[in-house]
Amino acid sequence: MHIKTAEFIGAFVEIKQLPKELIPEIAMVGRSNVGKSSLINKVLNRKRLAKSSSTPGKTRTINYYLVNREWYMVDLPGYGYAKVSKAEKQKWGKMIESYLYKRKQLIGVIQLLDIRHIPNENDMLMQSWLTNYSIPILVVATKADKISKGARQKQISLIRKAMDIRAEVNPIVFSAQTGEGTDEILESINSILP
């Protein structure tokens, strides 16, 4: 897939505000600070399209990016960040769940996991929820440049075991710094677009 155009459409705080067109959507989920904004910028080949922050939990809205005027990449708020109130976490949780459950335009989800860490309870709950609703999942292990090539296979094995990922399914190893994994992500998206 060749990215010809990518534009920020808007940041929404309620499901009823989301775009009404029946354009396919690929959503991204993951813990706060897992590198969603960096992945968006690298995969869509735009330096500052998605605002990344050194402060985890910064994305509190559902952010829409129109790609090639054909499909949306949708950035959902990161889950599991400790420094927001319980009420705020519940609000995000309801918003994410409502989006994933009700959105007819949703055709797949990219679940981001930091390759340096074993998936936590929130990661496993998200995967279980997506599987239960038969939503196609692409698992991407981010921040690959932060560990040695030798340590990668061990970390992927730990992720695979924790998430109970079938042997024939390979998480994509990704680095926003080097671009590693970008082509594989685009190929995977292209394979599920109508």
Residue 27 banded pLDDT, cuts 50, 70, 90 = very high
Q: Rounded to an integer, what distance in angstroms lies between the CA atom of residue 168 and that of residue 178? A: 26
Q: Is the pLDDT of residue 6 over 80?
A: yes
Tens digit of each residue's pLDDT (9 = 90 or more) over 135-181:
999 999 999 999 999 999 999 999 999 998 887 788 999 999 999 99
Q: Is the pLDDT of residue 4 over 60?
A: yes
Cβ 50 vs Cβ 97: under 8 Å: no
φ/ψ of residue 129, rounded to 5: -65, -45
Tens digit of each residue's pLDDT (9 = 90 or more) over 53-82:
555 555 578 999 999 999 999 999 888 665
Residue from 193, 192, 181 nearest 43 by CA: 181
What pLDDT shows up at residue 99? 93
pLDDT, mean over the chain: 90
- Cα end-to-end distance, the chain, whole Å: 13
Tens digit of each residue's pLDDT (9 = 90 or more) over 101-123:
999 999 999 999 999 999 999 99
Other beta carbons within 10 Å of 37: 21
Q: Is the pLDDT of residue 83 over 80?
A: no
pTM: 0.91
Could you give the C-alpha distances from 12 to 30, 57, 60, in angstroms and in order?
18, 16, 9
What are the chain's domains? 6-13+21-192 (3.40.50.300)
